Structure 1
């Protein structure tokens, strides 16, 4: 299982960047995203930036990972999943369209 880690780019040279997850600084590969400016948030897997994130998305992912870490350590989740607690479950668009038409199979 791979877990994506949100990181903020601190500096860059060509397709390599120094980025921080808020605790540690890492050298990451930008070959899949192309050159990115300092301050850009990315989702990283195994030292490679895979996707550009908005700051809001990055913080939500970071909070969720912090919550899971707290749970593993036997601590309280706090508000790690606050963005999900007030939201109703949502169907993927194709299933919602089928549901809206009254279809019972997708």
Structure 2
């Protein structure tokens, strides 16, 4: 399974950008999106930025990834999915 991860742009141009998530930095391709402003959040899949993210969406993805890591360590992970507790699953708007 492959996952896209949210990363913040530190510097870049139309071709590539140096991005960061936590302590990890990597250079990613910007060919699908073009240049983005410093500080923008992008979804990175296989070292390619595939979509610009809003800050709240990037935070939810980060929480889910942190929850997955906690579950793999055998730790409590409910707090990472607080937005899903006590509600029925919903399809994204574009699939309704």
TM-score under structure 2 length normalisation: 0.88
Q: State the number of aligned residues.
A: 96
Q: Alpha-carbon deviation of 1:79?
A: 1.1
Q: Which residue of 1 aligns with 2:81?
A: 81
Indicate conservation of the 8 Å contact 2:6/2:21, yes or no.
Answer: yes
Choose between structure 1 and 2 for higher RCO, CA contacts under 8 A separated by at least 6 residues.
2
Q: 1:13 to 1:34 in 2, by over 3 A?
A: closer
Indicate conservation of the 8 Å contact 2:13/2:36, yes or no.
Answer: no
Q: Alpha-carbon deviation of 1:2?
A: 1.2
Summarize the alignment of residues 12-27 of structure 1 with structure 2, pairs less than 5 Å apart. 12-27=12-27
TM-score under structure 1 length normalisation: 0.80
Structure 1: 4+ residue segments shifted above 4 A: 91-96
Q: 1:9 to 1:93 in 2, by over 3 A?
A: closer
Unaligned runs of 5+ in 2: none
Q: Following the alignment from structure 1 to structure 2, what is the Cα–Cα distance between the partners of residues 92 and 27?
A: 30
Indicate conservation of the 8 Å contact 2:13/2:34, yes or no.
Answer: no
**Which structure has the larger Rg over C-alpha atoms?**
1
Q: 1:34 to 1:76 in 2, by over 3 A?
A: same
